Amino acid sequence: AQEYKLLSYLLHHKGKVVSRTELIEHIYDQDFDRDSNTIEVFVTRIRKKLGPDVITTIRGLGYSLDDPALPGRG
């Protein structure tokens, strides 16, 4: 269910960089441990299911869901 929430949020923000903090705030309650690596785990699981190029990590900023139909994308 959490993977679906993460993917859905990225889909609604397609082409934009979404910070890890923003994802945590969307998926979890206020008392969630922000130092946890669950977002990274969910992204890894989604990549295994949908392919490694679906979600791009923008180092130091967050994640972006790419549109494979855009020109220049394989």
Q: What is the mean pLDDT of residues 8-34?
A: 86
Determine the average pLDDT of the residues in 15-33: 84
Could you tell me if 38 and 25 are in contact, meaning their C-beta atoms sit under 8 angstroms apart?
no
Closest CA to 9 of 41, 18, 68, 1: 18
Query: Please, which pLDDT band fits residue 70 given cuts at 50, 70 and 90?
Result: very low
3-state secondary structure of 73: coil
Rounded to two decimals, what is the model's pTM?
0.78
Q: Is residue 55 helix, strand or coil?
A: strand
Q: What is the per-residue pLDDT for 72?
A: 44
Domains, the chain: 2-65 (1.10.10.10)
What is the pLDDT, as a whole number, of residue 32?
67
pLDDT at 34: 65
What confidence tier does 41 reach under pLDDT thresholds 50, 70, 90? very high
